[in-house]
Amino acid sequence: KSKKDNSSKSFELRFFPTMTITKCLRFLTNNVYNQKYYIHTLGISSGNNKYDNKKIRNFSRENELGGSRLNKKDYREKQNVRKQKEINDETTRSKDSIVQRIRKTNTLIDILALQHKHKSEMQPSDISFCWNQASRLFRNERRTIQKNPRLFIPLIDHTLEMVKKFSPPSLVATTHSIAKISSGARIKVDHTLWKALKEEGMKLKNPKLREINNILWAFANVNHNAPELFDAMAPKIISTLNQADSRNMANIVWAYAKVGHEHIDLFEAMSKAAISKIETYNAQDMANTVWAYAKMGHGNIDLFEAISEAAISKIETFTAQNISNTVWAYAKV
């Protein structure tokens, strides 16, 4: 039975004989002590409030740490682990808050203002996210960029300071976003930045083919020829062709042709892989591939025949640009 005295805010509880003292105290700790009520339990109260409270706190500590009594040393270690976890969680929340603020920005000015305000707190991944968000918003602000071509100077300088600390995904995403902004807004980005991105791109160890594709696409899209980078990526591309998909393969040969970088071994290996996977090629992939081979003067007969057969079966999916590039390529070779 349970009776509540409204004047003193106390509980008088009677428990069934089958419940142990430990279960009683744990029940009280979890359900009553946290509400700061004075507890009076029949059969276990000593009449000393301090003693009762200390006993309850001891059982509360045991319950939090797994239900077994710990010595002071073990208890302190548990407390230190808990405090460290709270610190790590706070750091994570702080970082997430910066990312969330960047995500909520609606203009380029907002992004740059946020970058300036939190510059000392930003990690490489945050800088990469700034570029990524800017690449989404710049299309509506092309006039602003063209009127003020130095708008991105603070963000570029910050990127140069932190570029050596970028993780591979952050480096790839940043390079890709900068290329989209540069080509889309028709502005030139400082050559120093492209040089730094090239040097860090060459240091990538075992990059995924998609990452290679995005980096090479970025340099080709802004017509920035980096012979050392393209030469360094060729062996890595050849070694991963077995797992490559048609989109990445087509974009890579397009990038080499766009900057006019010759690499015979890569084009030969790519043609063999393309023939074996020609059924997976869509109209855009086929048009880009034949255009690249024709531009570089690689008239691989087997590849062109395989693509012609596949193109006929999918001719209804070709756009006017796809048809134009394909016809030009076959005429060129």
User: Which string of DSSP letters, residue by residue, matches 223-286?
Assistant: T---HHHHHHHHHHHHHTGGG--HHHHHHHHHHHHHHT---HHHHHHHHHHHHHTGGG--HHHH
Summary mean pLDDT of the chain: 81
Confidence of residue 79 (pLDDT cuts 50, 70, 90): confident
pLDDT at 254 over 60: yes
Per-residue pLDDT, 67 = 47
pLDDT at 291 over 70: yes
Q: What are phi and psi of 48, to 5 degrees?
A: -105, 110
Identify which has the larger pLDDT, 227 or 27.
227
If DSSP codes are grouped into helix, strand and coil, which group holds residue 15? coil
Confidence of residue 235 (pLDDT cuts 50, 70, 90): very high
pTM: 0.69
pLDDT at 48 over 50: no
State how far the Cα of 248 lies from the Cα of 229, in Å rounded to an integer: 17
pLDDT digits (tens, 9 = 90+) for 97-155: 888 899 889 999 999 999 998 998 899 999 999 999 999 998 888 888 888 878 899 99
In sign, the C-alpha dihedral spanning 206, 209, 214, 218 is positive
Per-residue pLDDT, 43 = 41
The rounded percent of the chain whose pLDDT value lies above 70 is 75
The DSSP element (H or E) to which 151 belongs, if any, is none
pLDDT digits (tens, 9 = 90+) for 179-211: 999 988 888 888 899 999 999 999 998 899 999
Packing angle, helices 124-137 and 108-117, rounded to 10: 170
User: Which string of DSSP letters, residue by residue, matches 32-46?
Assistant: TGGGT-EEEETTT--
Per-residue pLDDT, 70 = 53
pLDDT at 221 over 90: yes
Please name the amino acid found at residue 19: M
pLDDT at 295 over 70: yes
Per-residue pLDDT, 44 = 43
